[in-house]
Amino acid sequence: MIALTLAEVVAATGGRLETVGTSATESTVVDGPVTTDSREVVPGGIFVAKRGEFDDGHRFAPGAVERGAALLIVERPLDLPVPQVVVADSVDALGALATEVVARVRALGRLRIVGVTGSNGKTTTKNLLRTVLEAVGPTVAARKSYNNEVGAPTTMLELTEQTEYLVAEMGASGVGEIARLIRMARPDVGIVLKVGLAHAGEFGGIEKTVQAKSEMVTDLLATDVAVLNADDPRVVPMADVTAARVVWFGLGERADVRATDVVVHARGTSFTVTVPGGESARVRFSVLGEHHVMNALAAIAASLELGVPLATVVSGLERVTLAEQWRMQVMGGRDDITVINDAYNASPDSVAAALKTLAQVKRPEGRTIAVLGEMSELGEFSGEEHDRIGLLAVRLGVSQLVVVGEGARRLHITAINEGSWDGESAYVETADEAFELVTSTVRPGDTVLVKSSNSAGLRHLGDRLGEWFA
């Protein structure tokens, strides 16, 4: 974090300063990393004691002090020998502090901000942008999927006076949440990737999901840029609710930044990108899956709007070999057995894309095995969407479907009803059972996909299979 006095932290958060038992004063300066996880505190760091659904961060404040915290942001005074800023709500205070830091760095005149949202692809696009922009200037981007009311401001607080680019991943589970993040750091370039059924149960329907994602562009200024998916009929109308200049990306004729000649293979995806002005380039993209081409196009469009030359953008994209751990992560290799671990998240769109990729990259002599768990947070759409994936698996000719857990069982039943009644679809209760089934039936040359929502925990099964066949 940039250097602030305790008085400035108090002013930003609306709290009050407690320094009893310490030598700190209002003029004491703090500039360490900010975290809500006491295990991540480093000497000189700032610990925000956040109340959670199942626990209270105040319980872990002593551990933060032991690790060298220089400041605690708390909702009640604690008997600990470090200065404390006492606030009404620690999450609100975290956001307010981020807002102040972003404003101060903005005022220096060099910071440009890219906001990324969408039902799928946020983390991949953020990582692609980080790789491209780091080549041209100091860049801050979220670790992992830090995109909510805690993760996003924590990322913003990593800004320094030298930062030139902030890539802010902005997720939501309800209307108003992206707008809240936008108020902390209004983007110069706002990206909307796709609007699908991911988290639709939490939002209360697809219309609410569209409304929430639209918040990325509704407050942009005429001098800003909205980078929108020209191929998504739910994203296209967002051009009518923004004052910003719109840049379209996609595969169709409407796109300003367009991909053609897309070729998918086991080592990634290659495509030709054409950009405004007619310049084009061949991109040899090592991230597996045709669906990631759209994320690459969004990153290209945003980077060009920030003034990065196309050759530099392409070079950056080609350096990326993995979108993120547990996202289309290629593992295995023994006996030509490939394991694709894509089990960090799962929406109907991303599962469909992963299954299509599985069919595209299989070896001619090998089979395809899809290990699928529950797609969570779909609400009223859960049943029909699991049905749809079961149908798709059969129609794509997946050799062996392994369905894991009660939440995904309907997918298995649908596959049987569609014709996979002779053992092509198997149902197991646990990841351990799935491991035993796959390892006992896999053959040399097979390709295995592991895909589920994070809550199903199959990412660890994917790791286990990848190590087993390494």
439 is in an annotated binding site: no
121 is in an annotated binding site: yes
417 is in an annotated binding site: no
pTM here is: 0.87
Per-residue H/E/C for the chain: CCCEEHHHHHHHHCCEEECCCCCCCCCCEECCCEECCHHHCCCCCEEECCECCCCEHHHHHHHHHHCCCCEEEECCCCCCCCCEEECCCHHHHHHHHHHHHHHHHHCCCCCEEEEEECCCCHHHHHHHHHHHHHCCCCEEECCCCCCCCCHHHHHHCCCCCCCCEEEEECCCCCCCHHHHHHHHCCCCEEEECCCCCCCHHHHCCHHHHHHHHHHHHHCCCCCCEEEEECCCCCCHHHHHHCCCEEEEEECCCCCCEEEEEEEEECCEEEEEEECCCCCEEEEEECCCCCCHHHHHHHHHHHHHHCCCCHHHHHHHHHHCCCCECCECEEEECHHHCEEEECCCCCCHHHHHHHHHHHHHHCCCCCCEEEEECCCCCCHHHHHHHHHHHHHHHHHCCCCEEEEECHHHHHHHHHHHHHCCCCCCEEEECCHHHHHHHHHHHCCCCCEEEEECCHHHCHHHHHHHHHHHCC
Between 3.40.1390.10, 3.30.1390.20, 3.90.25.10, 3.40.50.620, what CATH number should domain 4-92 receive? Answer: 3.40.1390.10
Residue 340 in this model has a pLDDT that exceeds 70: yes
In the chain, where the domains are located: 4-92, 108-319, 329-468
Q: What architecture does CATH give domain 329-468?
A: Alpha-Beta Complex (3.90)
pLDDT at position 421 is 78
345 is in an annotated binding site: no
Tell me the pLDDT tens digit for each residue of 46-88: 999 998 877 899 999 999 999 999 999 999 999 999 999 999 9
124 is in an annotated binding site: yes
The arithmetic mean of pLDDT across residues 168-191, rounded, is: 92
163 is in an annotated binding site: no
Residue 202 in this model has a pLDDT that exceeds 80: no
The arithmetic mean of pLDDT across residues 227-252, rounded, is: 97
CATH for 108-319 is 3.40.1190.10
123 is in an annotated binding site: yes
At 204, is the pLDDT very low, low, confident or very high (cuts 50, 70, 90)? low
Residue 147 in this model has a pLDDT that exceeds 90: no
At 290, is the pLDDT very low, low, confident or very high (cuts 50, 70, 90)? confident
